[in-house]
Amino acid sequence: MTTGYVFHPEYLWHDTGTSAGVVLANPAAGIAPAVHIENPEAKRRVHELIHAPGLLGELMIIEPRRATVAELLRVHTEAYVQHIKTQSDLHGGGDAGDGYSPVGHGSYDIARLAAGGLIELVTAAVHGDITNGYALVRPPGHHATADAGMGFCLFNSIAVAARHAQAELGLARIAVVDWDAHHGNGTQAIFYDDPSVLTISLHQANCFPPDSGWTTENGVGEGAGYALNVPLPPGSGHAAYLHAMHQVVLPALNRFAPDLILLANGFDAGVFDPMARQMLTAASYREMTRLLIDAADRLCHGRLVAAHEGGYSPFYTPYCALAFLEELAATTTHVTDPLAVVVAGYAAEPLTPQQQAAIGEATQLVSRLHSRVTTS
Ligand SMILES: [Zn+2]
């Protein structure tokens, strides 16, 4: 078993500039500029925590390349790809669409390198060079729709890689599991009418985008039933996420029987993250990863390929990512989560009736997915 790893220094060069939280700093509003919240620091520290204790040496390094325009156009509109290029060519950069998604000078090429990195990782998995893998890419992608960037996302790398796998690698059915704290709205929208790609998003209810990711968003047309959402109340932690994995994610994967599982791997449901209010620990990510590995082993030759999405705590995201990657590569380093003792009480938080109800609603939809698949 071999685990692939994609990283490139350019991922840290995507320049998001300054802001005040997620909004523009504005002297008239009396707020000083600070480093943008989606900045390289958490990602740099993830890579260093993989490198320093020797884990990097146990991984197969997969070199990224830039996705071609033709590869981007399998997902995005021509006008949108051109928009990102135009913004990127500006000396001071621009924005991908919603006013909160900076495009730095040169970010067009970096975003292509992120999507192309994931393409290369998926290709290596399908060719059997690796069993599974992790692409520590930046900028993130899961909020980007076909024709609009949002939520710090430029190109939807996971969607581009999924379409590449179908068009070039002979895969038919692809499942996207998204456990970023925010709704994977872009990926959902791209595949909303497509039964060949199942999207499952676990996220904080009504967080970002606002009013998005409800259980009622279930796919349309041929794709009806193939979008699943588990909007969890703020404060959901280990028990709720594990319950959602067992009640929704695993049964849905079993019924869909994918050829490949792609993971939108956000760590912003971590307990110290500034961008959401969920309570996962490194141990939670480890356990959730174990479940996905088992599912991939059972269903698709172990093919579980992850793309880094959110995760904004520079000091805690790295421990969550390390736990994820140790589990993926079936190895351990000498590094343990030093904050585990601090958050032990949070992780022990029992399942609440509200969490149970939210998960229960999504569970109902899984049984409908079952009947669709078995009768088709
Ligand atoms: Zn997020």
Asked whether 37 and 22 are in contact (CB, 8 A), the reply is yes
Which pLDDT score is estimated for 23?
72
Which pLDDT score is estimated for 374?
45
Which pLDDT score is estimated for 169?
98
Which pLDDT score is estimated for 250?
98
Give me the long-range contacts of 217-225 (CB less than 8 A, separation at least 24): 217/188, 218/365, 219/192, 219/193, 219/195, 220/192, 220/193, 221/193, 222/193, 222/194, 222/195, 223/191, 223/192, 223/193, 223/194, 223/195, 224/372, 225/195, 225/365, 225/368, 225/369, 225/372
What's the CA-to-centroid distance between 180 and ligand 1, angstroms? 5
Mean pLDDT for the chain overall: 95
Tell me: the pLDDT tens digits for 270-325?
999 999 999 999 999 999 999 999 999 999 999 999 999 999 999 999 999 999 99
Q: Is residue 318 part of a domain?
A: yes
Show which residues are catalytic.
143
What's the CA-to-centroid distance between 32 and ligand 1, angstroms? 24
Q: Is residue 28 part of a domain?
A: no
> What is the CATH classification number for the domain harbouring 264?
3.40.800.20
Q: Report mean pLDDT in 10-residue bins for the chain, 376 residues.
A: 97 93 75 92 98 98 98 98 98 92 97 99 98 98 98 98 98 98 98 98 97 97 97 96 98 97 98 96 97 98 98 98 98 95 79 96 88 47
Which pLDDT score is estimated for 375?
42
Tell me: the pLDDT tens digits for 132-151?
999 999 999 999 999 999 99
Tell me which residue range forms the domain holding 155.
3-23+33-375
3-state SS assignment for residue 326:
helix
All residues at 6 or more sequence positions from 10 whose CB lies less than 8 Å from its CB, including other chains: 109, 110, 113
Q: Is residue 142 part of a domain?
A: yes
Which pLDDT score is estimated for 370?
60
What's the CA-to-centroid distance between 24 and ligand 1, angstroms? 19
Which pLDDT score is estimated for 348?
65
Which pLDDT score is estimated for 371?
56
354 exposed, middle or buried (CB, 10 Å; 0-12, 13-18, 19+)?
Answer: middle
What's the CA-to-centroid distance between 317 and ligand 1, angstroms? 12
Q: Is residue 321 part of a domain?
A: yes
Domain count, the chain: 1
What's the CA-to-centroid distance between 208 and ligand 1, angstroms? 8
